[in-house]
Structure 1
């Protein structure tokens, strides 16, 4: 083992990085992607500096794996927070503020409104069929509405 470690070269690192990238294809969820990229970078550094001892190659690999993973994690987190669709996968939230027409009269605070090709339960002030209403809130499958003046 010591013999192998003392003679690590760029082919070993490129092979490790490639193997990790291939394993990532089978569904590791991004975990092996960044370690594979770190292995390839260490392989390139070892190609440029062939006399780099293994005692520096291994820590370099570890540091690069952590840095690339943290970089990607921060980048993805930033995209999730500043996305152009903050209500994605929150059915009903995208309806808040939009105006629709009463499908079934709202009587005693409960009725139905037509939203696209579906009908949602609506709660709010009494309104006749055809009255325009604006969605103010959502609670599960029930939309709170107000009459549009």
Structure 2
């Protein structure tokens, strides 16, 4: 057998093994691309230049990833709780009390046992604010009318 046939078979197997060790469905598609190049160089009676083989791998990689993004990823079930792992997004709309005043646009609130940095208009401690957005551990807030509840 030729060196290129063994090389592409080894690359495909290594990519499949990498996917098995660290699953994320990305190496899988590159492994399919390497397997396609393996089949191409194995079945063709002439030896393809290395540059053409690498180009075929790039094209097959893009094609397989495109198939994944368009076909498989689009058909994944949607979560009934899309903000589950995005805590700041799950807090949007909630009214909380400022633990520390907002001075120069920055302050803090306590939600359960966690303190969050907030950005918004300057307000004194104890003011009620509504969470309007968030980014990582910083929440955007606006003044909220106290509902008495």
**TM-score class normalised by the smaller sequence:** 0.3 to 0.5
Using the size of structure 1 for normalisation, the TM-score is: 0.45
